[in-house]
Every structure is written in structure tokens, then in C-alpha cells.
Amino acid sequence: MKKVFRRSTALTVVALATVSLAVFVVASATASTKHKTAGTQVCVLLPDTKSSVRWVQFDAPAMKAAFAKAGVTASINNALNDPLKQKAQAQACIAAGATVVIETALDNGSAASIEKLFTSKGGKAIDYDRQVSGGSASVYVTFDGKAVGAAQAKGVLAAMKANGTYKGGTVAELWGGQTDQNAFWFKSGNDAVFNPLFKSGPIKKGPQQFVPDWDANNAATIFNQMLVKTSNKVQGVLAANDNIAGAVVADLKAKKLKPLPLSGQDASVQGVQNIISGWQSGTVYKYVPDEANAAAVAAVALIKGQKPKTNTSRKNGSKNEPTLALPVVWITKANYTRLFKDKFLKRTDVCVGAFKQYCK
């Protein structure tokens, strides 16, 4: 993520601090005295540090706390965007005794093979945040992807209407990484809102492209090409997450162009800073600790031979995969302080330097 643009200090520090992430969660003192457990019970495989700050800032610590509270031993790993490393981490977990894997896929092929390593030996797998097509997971724990995409599209349209560029305006779209099934789920929400309007005429379909690996450097290059192709005549931008939105903002600033209606996702520090300073219209808020805790609860249920809680299903090949889909919230300049109240972000991280003047 190697075109240069400004990214949040938090992301840089986090990425450097987690070059080798492997957190072992031990049972609580009370639980360990009553139920001695050898080795590892649950293997958590997180994808990277570049596609989003969430994996390090939120998912890993939330799962660590959840498993510690449950008295379950878990190995929490980050593959740093390397499928081979992720598979090696899975094999190390199995060698340590893990029987349940919580996996965020890097690609379907390697992810499915990792799940099979567990399920072929009588273990269980959980698809976490990204569905593994053709995998063997017992449950999929995620946020409602179509709702994410719909919120993003509606946010862009609302901003276009507010600044008078809705009628006849051109919308460019930068979707997520095409190896991630979530990118297509989010896109389905984008399409549900945008496509009828493209067809009927109020807005025009602009350049559209998936961003490999959700990488911000790739996004910067792609958006720069979109601006060249349209002679800078873009009135709205669908960015699949805050990372991609940050690249768009950097390109606009570099070309001395004005802010555009722009979506995001993840409610990151950088995303909120761009929102309060007027460079990003909004971001999809997914309270990640809820998802991490739900995955931990599902893992504990599987260890006990119980059926995890679900509320819907998602098509996965020829089968319907039991799914727990969690709700999302659209965050704008009007309600961003909710993130502080929820303790999802710290005011001291967002309201610093040049951004302090914009904070309520």
C-alpha cells in the first residue's frame, strides 16, 4: 500500500509493531485451576496489517480478551498478507493441539485448504469477516455486507445532493480486492443503489475497478488513472474502505482539486480525520469488538460440541452456510463523536495537529 501519500501515524506504528504477531491467550486463573488444558484450543488467523488497521487495533486484542474471559487457550496470528505464512501458522496451531480455526481468508484456495486441515481431522472452522468459497466452515461470522455497500452508495448520493452535483453527476467506483468475497458482497449493495440510477439517468456511471489487495498504493494509481480518463470530471467516488478513500484524498490534494463526495469503511482514525476536515463524506462503522466476540463465542460453542448462534445464511457453492450477520452504522460529521462514546476510537488520536480545529 509505492506511490507516496500521507497515511495516519497510527497505521504506520501499528504495522511496524506487528511484523511478527503471535499472541497466546492463556486461561484465566480460576478456569485454569479447574480445567487444566494442554496446548492450544483455538487458532485465529488474521490476514494482514495493510488492508485495514482493524486487524491489529481491534480484532486481535478483542479476541485475546474474549478467550481469556472464557478460559480458552488461543493462538492469534497475523499472516502479513502471505498465504504460505498463514498456512504455516495453521499447521503450527494444529501441532499445538488446536481443533477450531477462526480464519480471515487471504485467497479462497489457500483458505479452503487451511480449513480442510482442521475439518479433515474432526476439527471445526469458522469463516471470519470473509467467506471462504468452497470451504468447510461450520459458520460464517461477519457484518452485513450488502448493508455496508448500500450505506456507502447512499452516503455518496446524499453528499452529491447536498453540494448540487447529483443531477448528471459522474460516480467513480473503487471496489475492494477481488480475491476477497466481501468485496463482491459490498459491491452488491453498491449496485443495488447505483445501478437503477445509472439506468434511469440522474447520475452517470464513471470508471469502475477493483483495488488489488485493498492496497492504498494500488488505489492511488487507479484513481489517478480515473481522473486522467475523465479529465478530472468526477462528481462522486465510491471507495470501499477508509484506506482506499485516503488514497483518493491524497490524489485530490496533490492535484489541488476540491473535495468530492466520498465513502469509506472501518471508521478508522484517518477516515474520521478526513470526514471532520471535509475530505470524506462518511464511513461505515462496524463495531469490530462485537464481531470478534461473536467469533469467540462461536468457537467456544464448537469446542463444546454445540451449534453456534446464527441469524441468516449465505450461499457458498451448492450449500447455504449458516451465518451471523451483524448490523452497521453510517458515520458522518454529524455523529462521529459516537465513536468516542463507544470507546472505538480515542478523541486524543483523532483530534490532533491540524485536525484539532475540526473536533467538537
Query: What does 84-121 look like in DSSP terms, one character per residue?
Result: HHHHHHHHHHHHTT--EEEE--SSHHHHHHHHHHHHTT
Q: Please check whether residues 109 and 208 belong to one and the same domain.
A: no
| Joined grid coordinates for residue 171 | 460516480
pLDDT at 194 over 90: yes
pLDDT at 14 over 90: no
Q: What string of H, E and C letters represents the secondary structure of 193-246?
A: HHHHHHHHCCEEEEEEEECHHHCHHHHHHHHHHHHHHHCCCCCEEEECCHHHHH
pLDDT tens digit string along 277-335? 999 999 999 999 999 999 999 999 999 999 999 999 999 989 999 999 999 999 999 99
| Joined grid coordinates for residue 353 | 495537529
Backbone φ and ψ of 50, nearest 5°: -100, -35
pLDDT tens digit string along 45-79? 999 998 888 899 899 999 999 999 999 999 999 99
Edge-first strand listing for the sheet containing 236-239 = 203-210, 169-175, 236-239
Query: What integer best gives the mean pLDDT of the chain?
Result: 90
Q: Please check whether residues 230 and 315 belong to one and the same domain.
A: no
Query: In sequence order, what are the beta bridge partners of 46?
Result: 78
Q: Please check whether residues 214 and 230 belong to one and the same domain.
A: yes
pLDDT tens digit string along 86-114? 999 999 999 999 999 999 999 999 999 99
Q: Please check whether residues 62 and 188 belong to one and the same domain.
A: no
Asked if the structure places residue 3 within a domain, the reply is no
| Phi-psi map region of 97: left, alpha, beta (phi>0 left; psi -120 to 50 alpha) | left
Least confident of 21-35, 153-167, 231-245: 21-35
Q: Please check whether residues 282 and 292 belong to one and the same domain.
A: no
Is the distance from CB of 268 to CB of 52 less than 8 angstroms?
yes
CATH, residue 279: 3.40.50.2300
Asked if the structure places residue 2 within a domain, the reply is no
Rounded to whole angstroms, the maximal C-alpha distance in the chain is 69
| Closest CA relative to residue 263, chosen from 219, 315, 201 | 219
Q: Please check whether residues 125 and 204 belong to one and the same domain.
A: no
Q: Please check whether residues 314 and 260 belong to one and the same domain.
A: no
Backbone φ and ψ of 107, nearest 5°: -150, 155
Query: What does 270-287 look like in DSSP terms, one character per residue?
Result: HHHHHHHTTS---EEE--
Query: What does 45-65 look like in DSSP terms, one character per residue?
Result: EE--SSS-THIIIIIHHHHHH
Backbone φ and ψ of 320, nearest 5°: -100, 120
Asked if the structure places residue 301 within a domain, the reply is yes
Indicate the pTM of the whole model.
Answer: 0.79
State what percent of residues in the chain have pLDDT above 90: 86
Q: Binning pLDDT at 50, 70 and 90, where does residue 16 land?
A: very low
Parent domain of 248:
145-286+330-358
Q: Binning pLDDT at 50, 70 and 90, where does residue 7 land?
A: very low
Asked if the structure places residue 63 within a domain, the reply is yes
Contacts of 8 (CB under 8 A, 6+ apart): 53, 246, 268, 269, 270, 273
Segment 172-179 mean pLDDT: 96
What 3-state DSSP class applies to 165? coil
Asked if the structure places residue 221 within a domain, the reply is yes
Neighbours of 338 (CB within 10 A): 15
Q: Binning pLDDT at 50, 70 and 90, where does residue 15 land?
A: very low
How many domains does the structure of the chain reveal?
A: 2
Q: Please check whether residues 226 and 183 belong to one and the same domain.
A: yes
pLDDT tens digit string along 221-270? 999 999 999 999 999 999 999 999 999 999 999 999 999 999 999 999 99
Q: Please check whether residues 132 and 31 belong to one and the same domain.
A: yes
Q: Please check whether residues 51 and 166 belong to one and the same domain.
A: no
Question: In this predicted structure, what is the pLDDT of residue 109?
Answer: 94
Q: Please check whether residues 237 and 351 belong to one and the same domain.
A: yes
Question: In this predicted structure, what is the pLDDT of residue 9?
Answer: 39
Distance CA 163, CA 172 (A): 17
State what percent of residues in the chain have pLDDT above 70: 89
The kind and range of the H/E element at 125 are: strand 124-128
